[in-house]
Each structure stands twice: as C-alpha cells, then as structure tokens.
A and B are shown apart, each in its own frame.
Chain A
Amino acid sequence: MNLLFIIMAPLFGALLPLLFKRTPRAVQTLITLAVPLSCIAVLLNYAPATFAGDVPKQFVEWLPALGLNFALRLDGLSLLFVSLILGIGVLIIGYAHYYLSRDDDEGRFYACLLLFMASMLGIVMADNILLMWAFWELTSISSFLLIGYWFHSSDARRGARMALATTGAGGLALLAGLLLIGNIAGSYQFDAVLAAADTIKNHDYYATALVLVLLGAFTKSAQFPFQFWLPHAMAAPTPVSAYLHSATMVKAGIFLLARFHPVLGGTEMWLTIVTVVGLITMLVGAYFALLKHDLKGLLAFSTVSHLGLICMLLGIGTEGAIVAALFHIINHACFKAALFMTAGIIDHESGTRDMRKLQGLMGLMPLTATLAMVVAASMAGIPPFNGFMSKELFLDQAVQQHLFGGLSWFVPILATVGAALSVAYSIRFIHDVFFNGDYKELPKKPHDPPRMMSAPVAILAIMCIAIGLAPMTMVSGILDVAASSVTNASTTVKLSLWHGFNLPLLMSFVAVVAGILIYAARDQLFTFNRQFDGQDAKHNFERIVQRISDRAAQLFDRLDTGSLQRYVAFVLISVIVIMLPSLIDLSAITGGKPQQPIDVVSMVGAIVLIAAAFATATLHRNRFVMLMMLSVVGLMVSLAFAHFSAPDLAMTQLVVEVVSIVLMILALFFMPQKTARASSGHRVFRDIIIASFIGGIVATLNFAILTSPAESISDFFIANAKIGGGGTNVVNVILVDFRGFDTLGEITVLAIAAAGIHKLLNKLKPFMPSSDVDGRPWHRIKHPLMLTNVANLVLPMAMMVAVYIFLRGHNLPGGGFIAGLIAASAMILQYIANGVDWVKGRFNVNYQSLMSIGVMIAALTGLGSWLFSKPFLTSWFTYLKWPVVGKWEFATALLFDLGVFLTVIGATMMILSNFGKMTTRHRPTYEGN
C-alpha cells in the first residue's frame, strides 16, 4: 500500500456512487462508506511511523519542469487533519443517508462529497506547495458543487457562487504568494521551503508573500473581513455544512496557517496581523451568532468565531498556543459537526430551523436533546467536556501574551467577552429549542430520528466526554507529533482537566456567568441590532458583483463597437506607433547586400500591380469592376513569383486565382452590385494616412530584409530534401514530409471549412435578381454552345496535366495541392458550361466523401509509420524499375500527397457546387426556358 491510495481512492471512488446510481440507496451508502474506511485502514498502516517521529513520503514526478510534483507527506499535522477528514467523513456519509429525502439524488451527493474529501486530503498531505494549491482550488470547486447541491433553490446557487468567488479569489492570491515563496526558496518541495525559512523571512518580498498567503487562508477560513460567505453557504444540505464547516473546508485556511507557521510565522508582522484578525473575527462571529434566529445561522457564525479563536492562537505562535490551537481544532470538529447534525435532525423532524418557532422539544426528542446538551456544553466550554480544556488553554495564552506592549491587558478581557458570548449562544441553542415553554404547533410533529441517524451525533458526543475526561490517552499522542511538525521541535503535551485555581479558571467562571446574563438580556440585544437590519451581506455582495459586471459591460460596449473599420484602424495605428520609431533611420537597417538592376518587364509588372491595387481600392464600390482589378493584382503576383524563382508558388497562385474569381462572382450574384458609401470625407482622409504609413512600414521592412544577408533555414531543407525525403523539389518535400503534420492539419481545416459552408448554405433561399444591375433581363441561353465545346475539350487535357503535375511534384514544381486545384478548376468549368444536372448525370461523386477519404488517406499514411515503430508521418521511399516508365521513385509521401489531392478537389468542389445547387434549386421558373 501506498500513501497515494489515501488520495486516489476518494478521487476515483467519486465515480462509484454514480456507477451504482440504480442500486438501492443503502447499497450506495455502503459503497461510499467503503472508500474512506479503506483509506483509514491504509492510514493505520502508516500512523505508527508518524507517531515514531518519521515522516512517510511519496514522490511521483508530474511536471518536473514547473517544479510541480505529486509529492505527499504524512507528518504529525497531516495525520491530525487526515484523521479528522476521514473520521468525520465516515460519520457524515452515514448521517446523510438518513438526511437526504427520496427526491434527492444521493449518487450525485456522494460523488461530490468524495471529490471534496479527496481534495481536502490532498491539501493536508501535499509535500509540494503547488500541488497543495491545486487541491486547494479543487476544494473551492467541489464545495461549490456541494453548497449548490439543491440547485433549484436560488439561495443555494447564490450561496455557492459567493463561496466560490470569495475562496477562489483568495486562492489566486495564495497562488501568487506560493509562487513567490517557491521562487525565493528555489523549490516548491515543502522541505526545501522549510529549510529556506530564514531566507524567506529576511527577503524583500516577505511582506508581499505573507499578505498573499494570509489572504488565501483568511478567505478560506472566513476570517474578518471575509466572514460574510460562510453563513450563506448554509443553504447547503446540513450534512455538507456539518462536514465543510466543522472539520474540513474552513479548516483548510487554519491548516495553511499551521503549515506555514514555521516558514512565515514568528515575525512581528505575522503576530500582529494574524492575532488581531483572529481576535476581531472571534468577537464579530460570536456577536452575530447570538443574533441569528436560524439554527444553522447561529452555528455558522459560531464557526466563524471559533476559527477566529484558533487563528489568534496560531498568531501568538508560542508552543503552548500551537498546542492549544491544534487541540481546539480537534474539539471544534467534534462538537461543531455534532451540533450541525443536531440542527439537521431538528430541521428534518420538525420542518423548521427557526428558533422563534421552536420550543419545548425536550419532551418529544429526549435523546436528541441530551446529546445536543453535551455537545453544546462542550462548545460553551463547560467542564468536564473537551471544549472546556481548549478554552482554558486559550484563556491562559491570552493572559500570557505581551504582544501589544502596554495595551496587552485588553486581549484577555476581549477573550473573556468572546467566551461569554460563546456561552450565551450555546445556551440559546439549547434553551430556545428544547425548553422555553411548551411545544407549539410546527410543520411536522417532531420525534427522535431513527437510531442510526443519531448514532454519529452520539459518537461525537462520547468523543467530547472521553477527550474531556482522559485527554492524555485520547489526544496527547497525536498532539505531540502535530505540534512538533508545526513548531519544528519535539513537543510533549501535558493536558489535564483540572489546573488548580488560577486566572484562566476565574475568567472561565466570569464568562459563564456573563454568558447567562447576556442570554437573559437577549431581547434588548435583538432590538438594538434591528436598526442595522438593511445590511445583508448577500445583497451587498450581489450589488458589488453586479456593479463590477455592469462596468465591464460598459467598457466592453465602448471597445467592441462592431465596426470593422474601427478595429482595423486601432490595430494598424498600434502597429505604426510600435514600429515607426525603429524604422525611421533607414541607413541603420539597410543591410550590405547590393541591389539588383531592374529590367523593363519587372518595372511594367510593378506599375500594373500598383495601378491595379490602387484601382481595386478606389473602385471598390462597384464590386464587379473591383473583382476585375483584383484579378489583375493576383495575376501580377503570380508572375512575380514565377520571375523570382518560385514556380510552385506561381502555379498555386494562378489556379487559386481562377477558383477564387469564380467563387466571388458566384457570391456576387446574391449581393448588391454596388456598395453604399461607408465613410465620410474626413474619415477617408484619416484612413488614407494610416494606409500610407502602413504601406511605408511594410515596404521598409521588405527593403531591410532583402538587403540584409540573413542566415536562413532553407539551407537545411535544400541539403536534406533529397537524402531525407527522397525528392528534389524542396517545396514539395517540405509540404509532405518535413512539415507533413502541418499539411495534415491544414487539409483537415480545409475539409472542416467546406463542411461548414455546406451546412450554412444548405437551407438558404437567397434573393434571386431577375435582371442585371441596369435592369436588363437575363439572356435566354443558359449554356452557350461554344463554351460547352471548349469546356469539353479542356477537361481531358486538364486532367492529364493534373496527373502529370501530381506525379512529378516530389521532384519538380507541382504536387498534390496544385494538381487538386487544377482538376477542380477543370470541373468547375464543366459546371459553368453545362450546368449542375448535366455534370451530376455523368459524374455523380459525393464530394463530402471524397474529401473525407482524402483526409483519411493522409492520416492513415501518417499512422502507417507506427507499424514500423517509427514516429508519426515518417516517410519511406524506394526506386522501382517500371516497364516503359523506367526508374521511378515510389515514396509514402506520394500517398500522403494523394490524400491532399483528393481533399483539395473534394473541398473546392463542395463549396462551389453548393453555391450552384442553391440557385438551381430555387430559381424562379417563369423564364420558360
């Protein structure tokens, strides 16, 4: 067995309840229970080592380059938390079985719960601080799912969102803090971080890192001023609250403080921030707990208060304070989980959690009442229960500390106030619900729940008593090791119920008396608080979120105007601003290469190119003329390619020109022939200036590149094309061999685009003009005779050329892409000359399949190399002696090229024939021809 099991079992076990969704609920529960129970078994295997002072570890490399490893440790602190998470988890699962109603999806609940359990276990066992952060975020997400379990309720959704937003934001801060720490320490492994503790504390960024980490801890543990999310998370099913807000989720922040205490703690800053925040949280939480009428609301704020207490102890940071904090973590988990479950039972049995409606349930639910009194007494800090002892320790620490110089005396006083409030709300929980007069009419007549539902509460209540009576046997062992892993020195804990008469005991006594008095005077307190009623944290939070998103929407509206002109102008102006300064000094960027002489033909070509481009821009409002001009531009570019030694490019460009002019004229049929004037005069002026600058920049860049004798990668390809790829046409070898994977991606995109166009045009019924732009009716003859004959003549020739270009592509200019376009052009000509029906009658190929087959051939050729244990798309070639043809090269790249060829034909034809079909199908028939 292996430490990994403890995390992996619940992580993958989360699938089990979903897989067994159809089985009876009891089976689901048992299966779910098996997961944490098996983890406990593994844990017991490791615990002796931890108790002996070792730290069992597990290390699996994950992303070593980022310093992120799946490293786990089980030191004392981890052991303490793992036991709590698993132990309380088992009880919660059993409890939830009885709590959830028939309509609730138990499988989903258990799946989320196990996922949450896994992430919590991950946090406390992580030996790598980045890994810990990953699990930290997982708890945020899984707790979001759990709090929002009843997603039909708006309260649950809002509560879940609030928890996610708050803890998620804290998580981001934490990540930043951890990255800083890891950077300072040079590693993200916890041991390395620990060893670098002094470096970190003396580093310039210590304050930043500390604040960021504390932000993470405080948001998670609902410390002031982030306490607002926790009460709203009470919209969750009670088992979730009992689990998340007693032993797990909110304890993650506390765990973080404890874990990083040896690394970050002990400084002035840590002491001040953590202690003060803890103290404030304790008082604020306790005060609001007393005011809540909702049972779970009371418990939520009391959780906030107790977390504040623990936080304050961790802030003080002496050995005694650490022990007290850890001890209180155990005690709080016991009594708070039990209290939440009790609240759930009361809610479940009576139909309400409102303390103003509940009263006198003692007679109806004697068992529940007895158990509740035990655990509430523990919360209040009444002897002989466990809560009493940790409270004594806390008060002792409050007396002993001297953090605030002359003002230190106010800490014990405030601590006593907090304790008194704690007593008051504990009394309220018991007295309001179980006594306070006789039973009144409630939605349901309550009685004690099934025995098994009370069992978890009973177990926890017994724990409270047992720890209280025999602390040394129950917890001193685990506190020893846990405290020593926090203080980094071996610790021996001495706990006893009776400390003799001393100041803390007196303070406890004062607190109990004051608590009773406060409870008695609670009505005045409610009246006093009523004046603040409008302040609901949820509404404030929603308002802030709403305001932020409104602002964002406004900003977005201002930026995203939907005007393409504007976007292009923005982009181009930024280019000008960024590029211009470095290009102004032309002599600095001119390289040493001499310029070539210019000949007449090139000059004429350049003139035509410039004139046609200029005309395209100026005549753009007359779309047909613009297309003519564009076509000339394309031709001139192709000639330039041919002239400057790029025959492959020239051929491709020429055929692409043919296909695109046809495509654009096809589309033009459905569009206005003239574009309305889109820009006012001054805007045109602005655009001309921008365009001139951009043109100048591009020209300058070209000039700079062409004159500088740059080393280029082409030498490698030229040297390796023949020996590595078996072809002498470097361009083609690059396409089908060196960068074959790119080509595969490109033809796939082409096929997807064609399929998309097919879908878009499928049901389109465009407007079909019955006359041309000048109002002349269309000519009668659909398929002119001369055109038909020429087209029929061109087809076989073009096909032959296509095959020729395809076959020679590997060694001479050509290849599958050009050949595909040539074949497609010849067929387009057939469509134009003879019409869709004529072609369909003679050549009925499904272009969609053709295209898919092409992609598949290319992909399978690539996969084929796996059969010979070579990487994807490794090509192979040989020379065969063929009759008549002679020596001829055969390369797998040729097969790949065949795939390209077919895909190009399929995609091109699919796009064009879809346009064609669209008109034939919907053409008005009144022409009578």
Chain B
Amino acid sequence: MLGTILQIAFLLFSLSILMNLWRLVKGPDLPDRILALDTIYINSLALLLLLGMFQNTQTYFEAALLIAMFGFVGTIAAGKFLLRGDLIE
C-alpha cells in the first residue's frame, strides 16, 4: 500500500519539477523565474524525503534538512536583488 502511494507521489513530484522547469525557462518575468526556482527546491526536498521513506533509511534526512533551512536563501537573495539591488547593506 505504502509502496504504491510512494510511487504515485514520486511521479507527481517529478511531474511538478518538470512544470517548474518550464516556468523557469519560459519566464516571462523575473519573479516567475525566482518562484519557479524556489518551488524546484521545495519539490526536491519532498523527493529526498520520499526517497528516504522508500528505502527506509535516514541517510537523506540531513540533506533534506539543509534544503529546508537554506533553500529559500537563494530566493531571498534574488528577491532582495530585485528590490534593492544590493544584498548586504
């Protein structure tokens, strides 16, 4: 049962990453691209955790933790760049 659900989840998250990629490449605006990047991070995080569950291991947990903690820093940096140009002021 869990196996089937995991398979479906893998499929859906992979699909959404592909859609994020489309938005990232297509744009048209910078905020679109930044959001696409952020979403790719979130979906990757989900994929990592799913992989951990699927293989029944904790190996991927720290990597997922780091994405959760710092995945948004890139988004913030990009956003701040659009707002103020300068990141550290």
Chain A contact residues, CB within 8 Å of chain B: 600-601, 604, 607-608, 611-612, 615, 624-625, 627-629, 631-632, 635, 638-639, 642-643, 645, 647, 650-651, 654-655, 657-658, 661-662, 665-666, 668-669, 768-769, 772, 778-779, 781-782, 784, 787, 794, 797-798, 801, 805, 813-814, 822, 825, 828-829, 831-833, 835-836, 912-913, 915-916, 919-920, 923
Min Cβ gap A239→B in Å is 67
8 nearest A-B residue pairs (beta carbon): A916-B88, A604-B14, A779-B83, A661-B74, A658-B70, A831-B88, A650-B63, A919-B86
Contact in complex: B81, A647 (CB < 8 Å)? no
Q: Which of B45-89 contact A (CB under 8 A)?
A: 47-48, 51, 59-60, 62-63, 65-67, 69-70, 73-74, 76-78, 80-89
Contact in complex: A829, B73 (CB < 8 Å)? yes
Contact in complex: A601, B51 (CB < 8 Å)? yes
| Chain A residues within an 8 Å CB radius of B17 | 604, 608
> Which of A612, A778, A822 meets B85, CB within 8 Å?
A778
Assembly CA distance A833 to B72 (angstroms): 13
Assembly CA distance A287 to B20 (angstroms): 92
Asked if A628 meets B85 with Cβ closer than 8 Å, knowing A601-B14, A661-B77, the reply is no
Closest to A603 in B: B14
Closest to B70 in A: A658
Asked if A655 meets B87 with Cβ closer than 8 Å, knowing A628-B78, A813-B59, the reply is no
Contact in complex: B74, A631 (CB < 8 Å)? yes
Contact in complex: A600, B11 (CB < 8 Å)? yes
Contact in complex: A912, B88 (CB < 8 Å)? yes
> Which of B11, B40, B78, B83 meets A665, CB within 8 Å?
B78
Cross-chain pairs A/B with CB under 8 angstroms, 29 sampled: A601-B10, A601-B47, A604-B15, A607-B21, A608-B21, A612-B24, A615-B24, A628-B37, A635-B40, A642-B51, A642-B60, A645-B59, A654-B63, A661-B74, A666-B87, A666-B88, A669-B81, A787-B80, A794-B69, A797-B69, A822-B66, A828-B73, A829-B73, A829-B76, A832-B77, A832-B80, A916-B88, A916-B89, A919-B88
Closest to B60 in A: A642
Assembly CA distance A601 to B67 (angstroms): 18
The count of A-to-B residue pairs whose CB atoms sit within 8 angstroms is: 155
Min Cβ gap A157→B in Å is 54
Chain B contact residues, CB within 8 Å of chain A: 10-11, 14-15, 17-18, 21, 24-25, 27, 30, 33-34, 37, 40-41, 44, 47-48, 51, 59-60, 62-63, 65-67, 69-70, 73-74, 76-78, 80-89
| Chain B residues within an 8 Å CB radius of A798 | 69-70
Min Cβ gap B81→A in Å is 5
Given contacts A642-B48, A662-B77, 18 further A-B contacts (CB under 8 A): A601-B10, A615-B24, A615-B25, A627-B78, A628-B24, A628-B34, A635-B41, A635-B44, A639-B47, A642-B59, A651-B62, A661-B77, A665-B81, A666-B86, A668-B81, A769-B85, A822-B66, A832-B80
Contact in complex: A600, B10 (CB < 8 Å)? yes
| Chain B residues within an 8 Å CB radius of A784 | 83
Assembly CA distance A632 to B74 (angstroms): 11
| Chain B residues within an 8 Å CB radius of A769 | 85
| Chain B residues within an 8 Å CB radius of A611 | 21, 25
Assembly CA distance A367 to B27 (angstroms): 102
Closest to A798 in B: B69
Min Cβ gap B18→A in Å is 6
Assembly CA distance A608 to B37 (angstroms): 12
| Chain A residues within an 8 Å CB radius of B82 | 772
Closest to A812 in B: B62
Assembly CA distance A608 to B48 (angstroms): 16
Contact in complex: B89, A835 (CB < 8 Å)? yes
Min Cβ gap A641→B in Å is 8
Min Cβ gap B4→A in Å is 14
Closest to A638 in B: B63
Contact in complex: A632, B37 (CB < 8 Å)? yes
| Chain B residues within an 8 Å CB radius of A661 | 73-74, 77-78
Min Cβ gap B29→A in Å is 11
| Chain B residues within an 8 Å CB radius of A631 | 37, 74
Asked if A658 meets B74 with Cβ closer than 8 Å, knowing A920-B89, A923-B89, the reply is yes
Contact in complex: A782, B73 (CB < 8 Å)? no
Assembly CA distance A814 to B69 (angstroms): 16
Closest to B59 in A: A647
Closest to A915 in B: B88
Assembly CA distance A669 to B40 (angstroms): 25
Min Cβ gap B48→A in Å is 6
Assembly CA distance A798 to B66 (angstroms): 9
Closest to A643 in B: B51
| Chain A residues within an 8 Å CB radius of B84 | 778-779, 782
| Chain A residues within an 8 Å CB radius of B62 | 647, 651, 805, 813-814
Assembly CA distance A611 to B24 (angstroms): 10
Assembly CA distance A342 to B33 (angstroms): 90
| Chain B residues within an 8 Å CB radius of A645 | 59
Assembly CA distance A628 to B41 (angstroms): 12
Closest to B73 in A: A658
Assembly CA distance A913 to B82 (angstroms): 20
Assembly CA distance A388 to B28 (angstroms): 103
Closest to B65 in A: A801
Contact in complex: A624, B30 (CB < 8 Å)? yes
Closest to B51 in A: A643
| Chain B residues within an 8 Å CB radius of A915 | 88
Contact in complex: B77, A772 (CB < 8 Å)? no
Closest to B37 in A: A628
Min Cβ gap B7→A in Å is 9
> Which of B40, B63, B67 meets A632, CB within 8 Å?
B40
Closest to A835 in B: B89
| Chain B residues within an 8 Å CB radius of A836 | 88-89
| Chain B residues within an 8 Å CB radius of A632 | 21, 24, 37, 40
Assembly CA distance A192 to B51 (angstroms): 72
Assembly CA distance A769 to B82 (angstroms): 13
Min Cβ gap B87→A in Å is 5
